[in-house]
Amino acid sequence: MAIDDLYREYILEHYRSPHNKGDLLQPDKYAAYSNPLCGDRIQMGVQFQDGKVADVRFNGNGCAISQAAASILTDMMLGKTPEELRQISRDDILEMIGPDIGPARQKCALLSLDVLRKGILGEPEAEDEELD
């Protein structure tokens, strides 16, 4: 029974058998963030070669959404240049995770992207759009 759009087989697969899970012994870049709401914590190590992601591993405990998202994101990262990594958007992730995701769970889905952006790529805290 597909209980709903969110916990479909694709997500559960990534959760049960996450890709790129583990630790890199000597990452070029390493970062960790936590989501205080649910206690999720994602750490990520990246190895670059010829300016591209040669290896990436994530670790941490968390809900199915954050773990599956990390699995999916790290898959996407492989082979990309930092420039290309910067192109990965929130919407890219949310599209993969599923449309039916409430605001509280979006944070779970986007935690690994946060680690990538702020921790690995060193982007500054996103300035919010100015209100008109």
Partner 1 sequence: MAVRKVSAAHIASLAPREDFPILAQTIRGVPLVFLDSAASSQKPHEVIDAMSRYYETSHANVHRGAYFLSEQASASYENARITIAKFIHARSAKEIIYTRNTTEGLNLIAQTWGLQNIHSGDVILLTEMEHHSNIVPWQMLAQRSGAKLVYTPVTDEGRLDIEAYYRLVCEHAPKLISFSLMSNVLGVIPPAKEMIAAAHSAGAVVLCDGAQFTAHYPTDVRDLDCDFLAFSGHKMLGPTGIGVLYGKRALLEEMPPFLGGGDMIHEVHLQSFSTAELPWKFEAGTPAIAEVIGLEAAILYLQRLQMTRVAEHDHAITKYALNRLSELPWAHVIGPASAEDRGAAISFTIDGLHPHDAATLLDRDGIAVRAGHHCAQPLMERFNIPATARASGYVYTTSNEIDALIESLKKAHAVF
Q: Which of 38, 78, 88, 96 binds partner 1 (CB under 8 A)?
A: 38
| H/E stretch holding 59 | strand 52-59
Q: Count CB neighbours of 82 within 10 A.
A: 15
Q: In whole angstroms, what is the distance from residue 25 CA to residue 120 CA?
A: 16
How many residues form the binding site for partner 1 (CB under 8 A)?
A: 29
Quick one: tokens of 65? Answer: 């959404």
Show contacts with partner 1 in window 70-99 (CB under 8 A).
none
132 binds partner 1 (CB under 8 A): yes
| Pick 64 or 96: Cβ nearer partner 1 | 64
121 binds partner 1 (CB under 8 A): no
Q: Classify 54 in phi/psi space as left (phi over 0), alpha (psi -120 to 50) or beta.
A: alpha
Residues contributing to the site for partner 1 (CB under 8 A): 1, 3-4, 6-7, 12, 15, 34, 36-41, 61-65, 102-105, 108, 128-132
